[in-house]
């Protein structure tokens, strides 16, 4: 249940080498003043670029811009509880799951903590290796479970494969993805609007490219004057906008109660809205690139 007093959490999953660390650093560099808290398994292979680090402690590393990085070792719940007590609180938590972890399980556990709400599960894949990994003697089912846990999948390292391979891989991903949206990326350089809750709704995001090369999104505003059945409405929304990345707003349900609607990829949550808000929904949709489906950069 999302409610306004909780800190949003994005769980980032994906196998080793898929670009999770690159994504984390990219988000830190584009945080625009938001306080991000990065949660990692252990500091040893610290996924933070040197120049972003301000001070290193045993349990917490201070980063530029008021961001922090914490390790949770084998006690995630304790680490999250301490995080919620930080003053000032982070705006958004990014949990980088280990390469063999199931991000969906982590999200499911964290959603039980009253201080936090799950914003989304983002899984990265290496365009060059993901199909082989999904056939790996030991890792196949883990990879497929990670993919089916995802709300948004970043098909990363698109520069390492040919245009045909990319299309093939993208199609295959969408067939195993269980409804997640797939966004092509290079160097995990995706717009923070995709991964982070607060960004999607600021004015700046409307004119940002979705990802570094070619991928774009458009925003639609729906006034939502009519009352709706939230569950049915979500279904029809996802049909109307098949490439929907995020949606957020307030609607009136059939009993005239105001409800908050949030959609990230395939994850939809409906909760009670705060008092006095006006109805209206904003939808962010991925656009197929104008020159054709999922192409990579020309050199």
Partner 1 sequence: MNTLYQAKKIITMNPARPHVTHVAVRDGMILGAGTLEELAGWGEYTLDERFVDKTIMPGFVEGHSHAMEGALWAFTYVGFFDRMDPNGKVWSGVKSIPEVIARLKTTEARLPIDAPLPGWSLDPIYYDNERVTREHLDQVSTTRPIGLLHASGHIINVNSKTLALAGLLRTGIDNPGIPLGEDGLPTAELKGPEVMALATVHVGFSQDFLSCDEVGLINFSKLCVRAGVTTATDLAARLPETIVSMMQDVTSRDDYPARIVPLIFHSGIAPKDLIARAIAIKPQSTDKLRLGKIKIVTDGSIQGFSARMRAPGYYNGAPNGLWYISPEHLHEILTACLKHDLQVHIHTNGDEATELLIDTMDKGLLKQPAPDHRFTIQHCQLADNAQLRRIAKLGLCVNFFANHHFYWGDEHYQLTVGPERALRMNACATALKLNIPIAIHSDAPVTPLGPLFTAWCAVNRLTASGRIQGEAERIAVSDALYAITLGAAYTLKLDGEVGSIETGKRADLAILEDDPETIGADKLNDVRVWGTMLGGKVFAANTL
27 scored as a contact of partner 1 (CB under 8 A): no
From the CB of 65, what's the least distance to partner 1, in Å? 25
**Nearest CB to partner 1, comparing residues 72 and 233:** 72
Which residue of 52, 106, 211, 284 would you call a contact of partner 1, by CB under 8 A?
106
CA distances 92 to 31, 120, 136, 174, 242, Å, are 10, 11, 34, 28, 27
Contact in structure between 140 and 133 (CB atoms under 8 Å): yes
232 scored as a contact of partner 1 (CB under 8 A): no
238: left (phi over 0), alpha (psi -120 to 50) or beta: alpha
Contact in structure between 158 and 186 (CB atoms under 8 Å): yes
DSSP 8-class letter at 14: -
Interaction pattern, residues 43-82, with partner 1; x per rule: CB under 8 A = xxx-------------------------x-xxxxxx----
- Rounded Cα gap, residues 279 and 293, in angstroms: 35
From the CB of 99, what's the least distance to partner 1, in Å? 5
Contact in structure between 63 and 70 (CB atoms under 8 Å): no
Start-to-end CA span in the chain (Å): 46
Closest CA to 122 of 193, 194, 179: 194
5 scored as a contact of partner 1 (CB under 8 A): no
**Nearest CB to partner 1, comparing residues 61 and 102:** 102
Which residue of 139, 163, 167, 227 would you call a contact of partner 1, by CB under 8 A?
139
DSSP 8-class letter at 90: P
From the CB of 51, what's the least distance to partner 1, in Å? 21
Q: Which of residues 141-170 bind partner 1 (CB under 8 A)?
A: 141-142
179 scored as a contact of partner 1 (CB under 8 A): no
- Give the DSSP letter string of 147-197: HHH-SEEEEE-GGGS-HHHHHHHHHHHHHHSTT-EEEE-STT-B-HHHH-T
Which residue of 60, 95, 97, 113 would you call a contact of partner 1, by CB under 8 A?
113
From the CB of 124, what's the least distance to partner 1, in Å? 15
SS3 call for 121: strand
98 scored as a contact of partner 1 (CB under 8 A): yes
Q: How many residues sit close enough to partner 1 to count as binding (CB under 8 A)?
A: 31
From the CB of 209, what's the least distance to partner 1, in Å? 33
Closest CA to 97 of 199, 28, 24, 31: 24
**Nearest CB to partner 1, comparing residues 62 and 105:** 105
**Nearest CB to partner 1, comparing residues 63 and 102:** 102
Residues of this chain that bind partner 1 (CB under 8 A): 1, 15-16, 41-45, 71, 73-78, 98-100, 102, 105-106, 108-109, 111-114, 138-139, 141-142
């Amino acid at each position: 249940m999302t409610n306004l007093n909780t800190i949003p959490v994005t769980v980032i999953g994906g196998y080793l080498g898929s670009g999770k660390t690159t994504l984390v650093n990219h988000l830190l560099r584009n945080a625009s003043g938001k306080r991000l808290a990065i949660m990692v398994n252990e500091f040893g292979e610290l996924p933070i670029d040197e120049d972003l680090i301000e001070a290193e402690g045993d349990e917490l590393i201070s980063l530029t811009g008021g961001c922090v990085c914490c390790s949770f070792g084998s006690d995630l719940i304790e680490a999250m509880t301490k995080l919620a007590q930080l003053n000032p609180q982070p705006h958004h938590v990014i949990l980088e799951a280990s390469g063999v972890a199931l991000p969906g399980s982590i999200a499911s556990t964290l959603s039980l903590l009253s201080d936090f709400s799950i914003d989304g599960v983002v899984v990265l894949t290496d365009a060059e290796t993901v199909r082989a990994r999904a056939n790996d003697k030991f890792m196949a089912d883990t990879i497929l479970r990670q993919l089916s846990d995802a709300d948004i999948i970043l098909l990363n390292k698109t520069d390492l494969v040919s245009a045909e391979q990319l299309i093939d891989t993208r199609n295959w991903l969408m067939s195993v993805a269980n409804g997640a949206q797939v966004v092509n990326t290079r160097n995990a350089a995706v717009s923070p609007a995709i991964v982070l809750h607060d960004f999607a709704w600021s004015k700046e995001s409307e004119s940002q490219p979705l990802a570094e090369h070619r991928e774009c999104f458009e925003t639609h505003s729906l006034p939502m004057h009519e009352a709706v059945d939230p569950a049915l409405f979500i279904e029809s929304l996802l049909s109307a906008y098949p490439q929907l990345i995020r949606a957020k707003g307030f609607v009136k349900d059939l009993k005239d109660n105001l409800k908050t609607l949030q959609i990230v990829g395939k994850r939809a949550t409906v909760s009670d809205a705060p008092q006095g808000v006006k109805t209206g929904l904003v939808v962010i949709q991925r656009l197929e690139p104008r020159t054709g489906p999922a192409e990579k950069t020309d050199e």
